[in-house]
Amino acid sequence: MPRAFDAVVEAEGIEIVTTDIHIPRMNSIMEGWVQTCRHELLERTLIWNLPHTLTELESF
């Protein structure tokens, strides 16, 4: 299943970056960024479609 998910993500042009065992805080930093996007952008903005989403994320 993870390989299928990776294939979908890569097909969308998203680069997959794995966390290194020597950088345990990297995962928490990304989780914080995702939570910020959810609270500050997605919960306060009506998203119409994918292009609108990408435009809003670029301005964020």
Domain ranges of the chain: 20-60
Q: What is the pTM of this model?
A: 0.42
Q: Residue 39: pLDDT band by 50, 70, 90 thresholds?
A: confident
| pLDDT at residue 55, rounded to an integer | 84
Taking CA atoms, 19 is separated from 30, 32, 49, 60, in Å, by 10, 15, 31, 24
| Residue 25: its H or E element | helix 25-37
Instruction: Name the DSSP letter for residue 18.
Output: P
Q: Which two tokens stand for residue 9?
A: 């993500």
Is it the case that residue 5 has pLDDT exceeding 80? no
Rg of the chain taking only CA atoms, in angstroms: 14
Q: From CA 7, how far away is CA 56, in angstroms rounded?
A: 25
